[in-house]
Amino acid sequence: MKSQKASARVISSKTVFQGRVFSVVSDDVQEPDDVRAVREVVRHSGSIVILPVDESGPEPLVLLERQFRYAANERLWELPAGRIEPGEQKLAAAKRELLEETGYSAAKWQPALSFYVSPGFMDEVMHVYLARKLKEGVAQPEADERISSRFFPLSQALKMALSGKIQDAKTIASVLWLDQKLNKTQKPQKTKQPQKSKKPTKRR
């Protein structure tokens, strides 16, 4: 998601932290509009988000996870998601994460949307995939993961997002996207035009 219109010139760069998941760099840069600055940036390989939808009933069901997040210090409702491993294709990462975290696989996949998580200091991009025609299996979570999952009607998930019960940004954005997508694909019903009443004929 790099802009083709403008770019910065890196004068010098220093890695100040190198972790398992991300690194932090301090860059002396010359930006467009004659801006010279030192920018501290979190470098991340990117993430995948899965929007699993069950359409077998009268209303679409969205699969959400609930797990404890140490950074937020609370349990959050979220969509399945994870880091894209170096050299891994986005779709392959989506299939892997869905199976690992929920046990589900999907027969139909569709790219939904991509966005920067927090472009003020991170280069991480999240890529959302819509997963349909789900098949249940056995979850394969990592040793430090304790994840429970549950299906919610889309209307309920939307209310949770708008009321603040869902506090995870990627999940809020994805649920809103899905609601808009389904509303656009639904064909509006044709309204019948009222019939004009015939004027009574005068008797002669």
CATH 3.50.50.60: does it fit domain 46-114+122-184? no
Query: Which pLDDT score is estimated for 143?
Result: 80
**Residue 31 confidence class, pLDDT cut points 50, 70, 90:** very high
Phi/psi of residue 95, nearest 5 degrees: -65, -40
d(CA 92, CA 124): 18
Instruction: State yes or no: pLDDT of 202 exceeds 70.
Output: no
Delimiting residues of CATH 3.90.79.10 domain(s) in the chain: 46-114+122-184
Query: Token match 């930006």: residue?
Result: 31
Q: What is the pTM of this model?
A: 0.84
How far, in Å, CA of 33 to CA of 17, rounded? Answer: 29
Residue 27, pLDDT > 50, answer: yes
